[in-house]
Chains A and B, each alone.
Chain A
C-alpha cells in the first residue's frame, strides 16, 4: 500500500520556486520525518498533502499527489473530506477557546454527527488515545486554555484523532514544548503509528532519529535524500545530508 505518493511536485509562491521536482512515496503505518534547515520547503510540502496552502493567493503547484491512489488536487475531491482523512497537528498548540470536551467534539459536530452517545464515546476514546484522558477526565468542561502547553498539544492530537483520519501530518509538534512534554508527545507518536501513517516535520534531528522509520532531507526546495532513518543518519549517501546531520550548517 502507498498511502501517499507525490510525483514531480513543483511549488511556487509568486515567482519564488519553493519546491523542486519532489518525488516521494510514504508507506503505511510508518513515521516519516521531514528534516532540513529553515526555508527548505519541508513545511510547505507537508501542507500540500492536505491542501492547507489553498488559502495562500500566490500558491501554485505542478505535479500530482495521490493519497490512497486518488489525486487529491482533482476537481472532484472535496477538500473537507480530504482533510478529515489527512489530519494535521500544528507547531504551536492551538486549541479553540472552548471547553476541553468541545475541542474534541468539534470535529464530530462539523461532520454532522449528532448522537450524544457517539460523541461522548469518541471524545473519551480520542483523549485516551492521546494519553490525556486521566489528566482531564474530571474537568472536561473546563476551558482548554487552562491546560499546560504539553497538555494542549495532546488535546490537539486528540481532536485530530476524533475525526478518524488515516494519515496525520505534524508540523514541528513539539518545538514549543518543554523536554518532558516533548518526550510524552514522542511516546505518543510511537504508539499512534500502529494505526496511522504519520508524517512529521522537525528541526530536531535527535527527535527524527528517535521516532521515525524513514527520513527525508530537504534542502533549498529539493528532496536531497530519502531513506530508512537508521541508514540516513549513520551512513548518508549525500554530502549535504551528512553536513546537515552532523551539524555543520542549518
Chain B
C-alpha cells in the first residue's frame, strides 16, 4: 500500500517537472513555426538590415532595427541607472550597514521588485516625464529616457540583492588581510571585496539586462509606440515587447502578415534573453568560488 502511494507521488513530481519543460518546448516550437511563415515572405536580410518597421501601414517594411534600437536604448538607460545605484546599495548593505539594518532593509528593497510593472509605467508617464521635461528641452511626452530610468529603478533590487549576496559571501579573511595592512574600509570594500565578488556582480548585471530587455509594461506605456531608429533618448521609441503588445491588443487576423510579425519579433527577443541567461550561467559556473 505504502509503495504504490510512493509511486503516485513520484509520478506526480515527474509530471510537474515535465509540464514546465513541455511548455518551454511548446513556446519555442510556436515561435519557430510561426516565424517560419514570416521569413518565407520577408528575406532575412531585409529583416536584419532594413531601417524601417511599418508592418501596420500600407507601405509595409519589415526591418527589425528600429525595434532593436528602441529596446537597446531603453535598456542601456536602465542599466546606467541601475548599476551604480544597485552596486552602491549592495556595498553599503554588505560592508557598512549594521547587521540589523541589513536584515530590515534588504527585504524592503526586494518589495520594489514586487510592485506591478504597470504601476512603474504610469509612474514614468505621469511623474518622471513631466519632471524631465521641466529641465531638459525637447523631451516628448513619450520618450525613451523616462521609460529607461524607471525601468532602471525597477531592476535596482535585482542588481543590489544579487550583488549583495556575492559581496557578503567573500570570505572574511580577505577583508582582514586588507585591514591588516592598514587599508581603510572604503579601500577594502572597493579594491578587495568588490573585485573578489566581480563574477557575482556581473551575473546580477546581466540578469538585470535580461530583465530590462524583456520588460513590457513600462516601455509600452511611457516610451511610446513609434518604431524610430534613433539614439536620442528624448524621442519616442518602440521596443520589441511594446510592439508585440500593440499588435496583440489590436484586432489582427490570425495567420495574417501582421500576426506573423509578432512571432518574428518574439523570436528575436527570445534570442537575446536566451543568450544573456546562458552567458550569466556560464560566468557563474566558471568563476564560482574561485578564491576559496
Interface residues of A (CB under 8 A from B): 50, 52, 55, 80-84, 87-88, 90, 92, 94-98, 106-107, 109-111, 145, 156, 159-160, 163
Contact = CB atoms under 8 A, between A and B. Distances in A.
Contacts of B276: none
Interface stretch (B119-127, B184-192, B205-213): B184-192
24 contacts: A52-B180, A80-B182, A80-B183, A81-B182, A83-B179, A84-B181, A87-B180, A94-B176, A96-B174, A96-B177, A96-B192, A97-B174, A98-B195, A106-B178, A106-B183, A106-B191, A107-B181, A107-B183, A110-B183, A111-B182, A156-B177, A159-B181, A160-B181, A163-B181
Contacts of B191: 106, 109-110
Residue from A52, A95, A110, A159 whose CB has the most chain B CB atoms within 10 Å: A110
A246 B176 CA distance: 34
Q: A-side binding surface: helix, strand, loop or mixed?
A: helix
Interface in B111-135: none
Interface of B: 171, 173-174, 176-184, 187, 191-192, 195-196, 290-291
Nearest to A78: B182
A88 B173 contact: no
A42 B134 CA distance: 64
Nearest to A93: B173
A83 B182 contact: yes
A55 B291 CA distance: 23
A163 B174 contact: no
Contacts of A111: 182
Nearest to B180: A88
Nearest to A91: B173
Contact of B181 (A92, A97, A106, A145): A106
Given A94-B177, A96-B192, A107 B182 contact: yes
Residue from A81, A90, A94, A98 whose CB has the most chain B CB atoms within 10 Å: A94
A28 B196 CA distance: 37
A90 B176 contact: yes
B100 to A, nearest CB: 11
Contacts of B178: 96, 106, 110
A45 B183 CA distance: 21
B291 A97 contact: yes
A96 B181 contact: no
A54 to B, nearest CB: 9
Residue from B178, B181, B192, B290 whose CB has the most chain A CB atoms within 10 Å: B181
A83 B173 contact: no
A95 B173 CA distance: 9
Contacts of A92: 173
Given A110-B181, A110-B182, A145-B290, 12 more contacts: A90-B176, A90-B177, A94-B176, A94-B177, A96-B174, A96-B196, A97-B196, A106-B178, A106-B191, A110-B184, A111-B182, A160-B180
Nearest to A95: B177
Contact of A83 (B171, B181, B192): B181
A13 to B, nearest CB: 16
A-B complex: 3 closest residue pairs judged by Cβ atoms: A84-B182, A88-B180, A94-B173
